[in-house]
Structure 1
């Protein structure tokens, strides 16, 4: 039993290193478990490994909240990427030529309108979001349009707080990250925002810690039994 515990500890403390935009990132299963898991559930070894591999493969810096590992109860863990990662990486691509994004509303006359931004007035209903990503050399932009009801998460029949307070902002973000991911699959594959996943309603009640609220992890010391 003692030998098994020693081997498990050695695996948990094994550090991987990679570069993220000029910064060397050091991660281990122990660091992930102790500092980078949000929620109230216990992550499995498989979930931790999946998170480590995504961060390394996509050069994400979880200490800058570029990636989250979220676990509530016995539900499967969810790996979420911050929206800024999508826009920053798109801007770094030499072929990126800008984007447009907004909402689709049904006005008081029952007509559908696609609007830039998120402005809507009382009596209008937000029914979706849209985005266009312009790429140099393409005749037409990469477009995405999404349905509001498909992504507006509800609890007890009511929208989660962010979706109720900022419906336009939320659905516009979904459309934008989907268009960006389709436009730049190599830079953004495997990454999804919280608004696209089934975690936002719970995150409204259990806010993610800000970076300065978390202690800075140190590289684990060498195992004296190794």
Structure 2
């Protein structure tokens, strides 16, 4: 049973609710606003203190529009503290570096952050990898021939926010948020620290595709290889271990062979976790594969029955 206190939303005046609607939740439609306020009540967090807020993706694309509920790391800590079972780690986050990884998209050469929290004095670990969470996206430039913008083929780190100024802090927040959700799944399910979704905002993908709920190291240990991912390409067929460098070509070939929307739905559902892992390990190729699947879905939808 949850120990989270309920936000006394009934005590909010009509003027306060209107203020939240016009400011914090100004991107929301009516249904999204109702859902956000219900989530705030359920989590016991205060929108006015920025403990919780809505984030709308693809605002101008009705078919892809989605809302995610985001919190600050302090908001997640508040929920944990109310349980009476939470204790933060007294040590600094564990940060891993690799000088060979230093680049304009990774100024410090950060690899991962590891943070522990304690529930009933038992440690729970959260891990966040730089490549999975840093807001890295395609660089765009002007095509001299057409005057239109197009990808340059390079990647860029969004330094407009805190990732450029305090990368260690941002990565550690992502790791701590994952640890807190693992420790208190009933109270924090569906709540994400804002930093966890910065890459989704930069790359225009849905939150569910950007935030991995599994520990990648554990998964790699289970499948027995750090350079391959298990996929099920055909119904009733055994799993196929596809080398990372061949995943895009192999899956693109398979998607092009699919002849029905029903089979395409099965393919995406059966491979949901492996596709998320592919995104975490090769974001650019995964995004191109996502676009290819969407194009195939449109093509199959136009095929006469």
TM-score (ref. length: structure 2)? 0.47
Offset, 1:98: 2.5
1:36 aligned to 2, 24, 48, which one? 24
| Larger fraction in strand | 1
1:56 aligned to 41, 63, 70, which one? 41
Offset, 1:125: 1.4
Could you tell me how far apart the structure 1 residues matched to 2:181 and 2:166 are? 23
2:93 aligned to 102, 118, 122, which one? 102
Could you tell me how far apart the structure 1 residues matched to 2:174 and 2:124 are? 15
Offset, 1:19: 5.0
| Structure 1 pair 47–154 and aligned structure 2 pair: CA distance change class (3 A) | same
Offset, 1:83: 1.3
| Larger fraction in helix | 2
| Structure 1 pair 105–21 and aligned structure 2 pair: CA distance change class (3 A) | farther
Offset, 1:181: 1.5
Could you tell me how far apart the structure 1 residues matched to 2:9 and 2:84 are? 19
Q: Which residue of 2 aligns with 1:177?
A: 177
Offset, 1:65: 0.9
Offset, 1:70: 2.9
Could you tell me how far apart the structure 1 residues matched to 2:38 and 2:9 are? 19
Could you tell me how far apart the structure 1 residues matched to 2:183 and 2:190 are? 14
Q: Is residue 102–residue 129 contact of structure 1 (8 Å, CA) maintained in 2?
A: yes
Could you tell me how far apart the structure 2 residues matched to 1:103 and 1:23 are? 42
| Structure 1 pair 31–123 and aligned structure 2 pair: CA distance change class (3 A) | closer
| Structure 1 pair 159–34 and aligned structure 2 pair: CA distance change class (3 A) | same
| Structure 1 pair 167–153 and aligned structure 2 pair: CA distance change class (3 A) | same
Q: Is residue 130–residue 143 contact of structure 1 (8 Å, CA) maintained in 2?
A: yes
Offset, 1:148: 0.7
Q: Which residue of 2 aligns with 1:127?
A: 111
Q: Which residue of 2 aligns with 1:192?
A: 192
Offset, 1:22: 10
| Structure 1 pair 180–101 and aligned structure 2 pair: CA distance change class (3 A) | farther
Could you tell me how far apart the structure 2 residues matched to 1:135 and 1:71 are? 32
Could you tell me how far apart the structure 1 residues matched to 2:30 and 2:8 are? 27
Q: Is residue 103–residue 171 contact of structure 1 (8 Å, CA) maintained in 2?
A: no
Q: Which residue of 1 aligns with 2:274?
A: none
Q: Which residue of 2 aligns with 1:142?
A: 124
How much is the aligned-residue C-alpha RMSD, in angstroms?
A: 3.3
TM-score (ref. length: structure 1)? 0.62
Q: Structure 1, residues 118-156: CA drift from partner, whole Å, max 9, x if none? A: xxxx99511111111122253xx1111121101111242
| Structure 1 pair 54–26 and aligned structure 2 pair: CA distance change class (3 A) | farther
Q: How many corresponding residue pairs?
A: 168
